[in-house]
Each structure stands twice: as structure tokens, then as C-alpha cells.
Amino acid sequence: MWASLFLELTEYPWFRRLVWRPVYNHLAKKFPAKDWLFMNYGYDPLNESERPQLEAGDEPHRYPLQLYHFLASQTLMQGKKVLEVGSGRGGGSYYLARYFKPGEIIGMDIAENAVAFSNENHKSPNLRYVAGNAEKIPFEDRSFDVVINVESSHAYGSIDLFFHEVKRILKPGGFFLITDMRDPKNIPAFEKSLLDSGLALERQQVITPNVLKAIDSEDELKRARIARQVPPAYVRFFEEFGAVKGSQLEKDFMAGKLVYFWYVLRNDV
């Protein structure tokens, strides 16, 4: 009952603004495990021969990291200035910094404890993490070539404000890459807001089958990680929150009650 009440309340902007920052701050402080680097449901190509080659240390994070890999592959990052909004525990920006070789990448998150965790655990000369709100991004107009956003936008009070901010900070010709999930009834409003920002749509794709495949492929690894990292009283919550096989989230993806997508947009002005 509490879980469904919570989910209903997340329909309201004031509630999202109230809860998500303390939730993610709490998670970063209470669970400082150095091998918990991602908080997304992952991506697996349907043809496994397309999986990227990884260094041995990255292999345990293959599925959540592949979500970054395949989204980032939609544009060129080498030598560019990149901002990740909603960088969480920092694993995504750290992966991009090393494999996609941007000139500079900044990971930004509203949860200060997650930012501190990221700065402490991920070191690369072209990478740093800062605290900041997607609805009021603390950077100058026209200052980034690429903005990337992974499984974070559902938590924002106003998606309109976020898209307006992305448009403002992108250089002309810059790219915006976004991936997340929504109840399908909310997707038309999401798309309208995206296009009302003035950004031009390049490509879009529903990736629910790839996310479901990742949930399947990662299941054993994920359950072992949860068992290792959290006390028994929290295991059930983390299995649901982390979408193990058989979780309500997996069922909702299978039934089409939740759709996972990505969009690639360009700042044409």
C-alpha cells in the first residue's frame, strides 16, 4: 500500500522536488559501497555480438554501462565538452571520460552525497562532478557540445524547465541525449515539452526490449551485489527498486505499462 501511495504521489511536481534529493543523498551516505557505481536498469543489444569490449574492471558493470555506451554512440564526444545531468554515483561519466575521450566531462547531480562519492571514487584528468539542479543548471549559456541524461528526468519537478535549461547551455549544433522511462499515457506530453524547448529531433527509439534483456542478463550479478551490499532488512526494497527478475518493474515493462526510450536532439539555432 505504501509503495503504491508513493508512486501515486510522484505524479506531483512538489512531491518529486521534496523526496528525490533526500532519497538519493541518503542512499549515497548509508550505502558507500565502492562497487555500486550505477543506478539504471541497463541495456543489452539484442544481437550480443554488438556488446562493447570492456576492461576487466568494468565487466561487473556491463549492463548499466551499456546504456551509456549505446546512447553516447549516437553522437561524437571525442574532444568535446560534455555535461551529464543526474550523474548519480558517477559510473556513467567515468566510463564516458575513459572510453569516449571528451575534452572535458562534468557530472552534475542534485544529491551532494552522490557528488562527493563520485569525486572520491572516479578519477580521470578530464572529469569532475558538481552539485546542481536540472531545473536551474549552474552553467553559462552556450557552454556545452553535448548534454547527456540517463534515467533521471522522471524525478524532476518541471521537465519544461529542464529542457529549457538544456537548450540554453548547449552550443549551436550541440546534441542532447536523453534516456528514461514513462507511463505511455505521459509520453505525448513529454515529447511536446521536448520539442517546445526549440531543440530539433534527430532520432528516437523505444528500447524496452533491450532494457528487459539487460534485466534478464544481469539478474544473478544484481542479486549477488544486493546481498553483499545491503543488510537483510533492505534486500526486498533493493530488489524491487533495482528491478530484478519477477519485480513489479519488470512486469510493468513486459506489460507495456512502462516504456523505456531514448531521444537524440540537436540545437539547430
The residue ranges that bind ligand SAM (CB under 6 A) are 20, 24, 38-40, 85-88, 91-92, 109-111, 114, 133-135, 150-152, 155-156
Residue number, 186 or 269, with CB nearest to ligand SAM: 186
In this structure, what C-alpha cell is assigned to residue 121? 571514487
User: Whose Cβ is closer to ligand SAM: residue 145's or residue 151's?
Assistant: 151
- Cβ proximity to ligand SAM: between 112 and 202 the closer is 112
Instruction: Using CB positions, name the residue nearest to ligand SAM.
Output: 88
What is the β-pairing status of strands 200-206 and 259-266? antiparallel
Alpha helices in the chain (DSSP H): 2-9, 13-30, 62-72, 91-99, 112-121, 159-169, 187-196, 208-229, 232-241, 248-254
Smallest separation, CB 144 to ligand SAM (Å): 15
Q: How far is the CB of 176 from ligand SAM (least distance, A)?
A: 15
Q: Minimum CB separation from ligand SAM for residue 86, in Å?
A: 3
Indicate the burial class of 185 (C-beta count within 10 angstroms; 0-12, 13-18, 19 or more). exposed
Q: How far is the CB of 162 from ligand SAM (least distance, A)?
A: 7
Cβ(148)–Cβ(74) under 8 Å? Answer: no
- Least Å distance between CB 268 and ligand SAM? 25
- The C-alpha cell 549505446 sits at 70
What angle do the packed helices 159-169 and 187-196 form, to 10 degrees?
30
Of 128 and 200, which CB lies nearer to ligand SAM in the complex structure?
128
